[in-house]
A and B are shown apart, each in its own frame.
Chain A
Amino acid sequence: MSEPIISIRNVTKTFGPVTAVNDVSFDIQANEFFALLGPSGCGKTTLLRIIAGFSKPSAGQILIDGQDMVEVPPNKRPVNMVFQSYAVFPHMSVEQNVAYGLQVVGTPAAEITTRVANALERVGLDDFRTRMPDQLSGGQRQRVALARALVKQPKVLLLDEPLSALDAKLREQMQLELSQLQQDVGVTFIIVTHDQDEALSMADRIAVMQDGNVDQIAEPGALYENPANRFVADFIGKVNLFDGQVSGTQGGKLSVETAVLGKVHLNHDGVAEHQVSLAIRPEKIRISKTKPDVEGQIMLRGRITDWAYYGDCSHMFVKTENATRLGVVIQNNTRDAVDALDIGDDVHLSWSPDDMLVLNK
């Protein structure tokens, strides 16, 4: 791989007794769409602000394009930010907002005109150039913030929860547009989000953060199917967890003793501690009213207690004979799928042991 565009080295940030970012190190490659994902208070925004220069790390180094940035003020860094509140200047028109970043550094007027026009065209705001921000919708204001940052031709674009203030439909549309935009302009994007769907659908790589630590950095698929630990598995998507103890290996497979499932043999190539959690994603569980005729599968009996219908799929909870509650997702592949099962039905659950994950705590 080539030289990383951003290199975060042992960055720590403390606010008094609170450690917001705890000795974090990772690299971000040029033209990557990188997501910092985590629950609120996990340090992701602090890390973004450290990259932007609004916050100084207590320890560690930030390299942008090979240069140490810790002592460089935000107005001298080759990065630009799209703020959570968009921070569009209320007393300037759309055009003036976008031109601002070029004017303050003394770009020639003719160049400003063309660059502003290009930026506005790119975000689809050409017809709004003379509007004032209070005449724009939330989505349009966000486009102004995007154009204003992109017109500076930054090496890295930072986005702080850019979609959190938009309604669901617009958010979905903006997710697609942001991915498209990133590919078009060829700029590294770093997005901070607490929304796993947002991160999974847009990012090339995701860093999952918790309590100031980075738990895992991986591509979306790897993150979902091979989470590094119980927190990541639980945070990315839904998961059913079973506590157990490793009792040895048998025929190249790991044997785990669990209370609910009994003894389970499954493939696992990582290191397993003695106390582990076995995890199964809800959509990997098959559900049927009759006992399925399969060999080597894990099987449980239970009764449907809750049901949530989402159109394309249905989520339900099944209470097993030993009072464990399992989440199950079924795809509504056929039009009569919705009538096939109902609350109170006795069902059989089955899944392959190899679809299960072994998670260290």
Chain B
Amino acid sequence: MAFFSRASQGPLDYHRRLWLRFYVGLTFLAIYAPIITLVIFSFNDSRRNIVWRGFTTKYYWKAWNNDSLIEAFINSLTIATVSTIVSTILRTMVALLLWRFRFPFKSAYEGLMALPIVVPEICMGVAMLAFFSRVTGFPTDWIWPFNLSAITAAHIAFSFPFVAIVVRSRLAGFNRELEEASKDLGANEWQTFWRVIFPFMKPGVIAGALLAFTLSLDDFVVTFFTSGPDTLTFPVKVYSMVRFSVTPEVNAASTVLVVITILLTIVAMRFQSPEKIATG
């Protein structure tokens, strides 16, 4: 530790160089300026939202009172919650299976499980559209929330591998002797799983679940292809609002989404922090 805290410039002390600081600042600006603009203009007291005309929060109230927007928001939350729960349970079990057992074609199976990560989202959306238009099992004219089942199924499909990777990497650090110790001390398989293996996996499971939740909440492409007229989600609704005009209401709604996503990501990263993983 003392080595790195010396006053002189170390090999990794890039942040001490002025031009590098400038470069970093520029990068951050490029990334975050649009979002910051979005947030600032959500408070703009102007209908057309091109010139700044003073501070107001009325568009937040307007968004709040926009029934179809709120409905879309509730749809999004419902889909995100259900797809998160299902994909987390499924994937945790798959991660356990892959970690615990050896079977033929295991690596092929593992690769197939991770495929949705690399399949372009647009292809996935088209595939889902084609699939659901042929399958009568998920109609969009059912009563709420069952009309969301097609979107939910699609979301489970694409968030599945993300949960997997997090849970798998967590399990890779598990000391198998802990499991043996538990059995040696008189616990059966069920007790061993819930009292020893699951507590160890838990940070990974929670982090994976939050990741799945954010992915589902702000997914546009796949949802766009699988949603019907009565099953708009928040991102799709925002898109359709933009097509009429970019009002501060859209900005306000988007800001709320950004804030929720950031908060969930922070929580997810907390659960994945190195010191939690180190204690194995």
Contact = CB atoms under 8 A, between A and B. Distances in A.
Given A54-B180, A85-B177, A91 B200 contact: yes
A14 B25 CA distance: 63
Given A75-B188, A100-B195, A104-B191, A87 B183 contact: no
B185 interface: yes
A344 interface: no
Contacts of B196: 89
Given A53-B184, A89-B178, 12 more contacts: A74-B184, A75-B188, A80-B185, A83-B180, A83-B181, A85-B177, A87-B178, A91-B279, A104-B186, A104-B195, A105-B186, A149-B185
A148 B185 contact: yes
A42 interface: no
22 contacts: A53-B184, A54-B180, A54-B184, A74-B180, A75-B184, A75-B185, A80-B185, A81-B181, A83-B180, A85-B177, A87-B181, A90-B178, A90-B200, A100-B182, A100-B185, A100-B187, A100-B195, A101-B186, A101-B187, A104-B195, A148-B181, A152-B185
B240 interface: no
Interface in A140-180: 145, 148-149, 152
A101 B196 CA distance: 12
A59 to B, nearest CB: 23
A200 interface: no
B111 interface: no
B280 interface: yes
A134 interface: yes
Interface in B115-138: none
A66 to B, nearest CB: 21
Interface residues of B, number: 19
A80 B280 contact: no
Contacts of A73: 183
Contacts of B9: none
A86 to B, nearest CB: 8
Interface string A325-341: 00000000000000000
A75 B187 contact: yes
A42 B191 CA distance: 34
A313 B39 CA distance: 79
Interface in A36-74: 52-54, 73-74
Interface in A95-112: 100-101, 104-105
B10 interface: no
B178 A134 contact: no
A76 B184 CA distance: 8
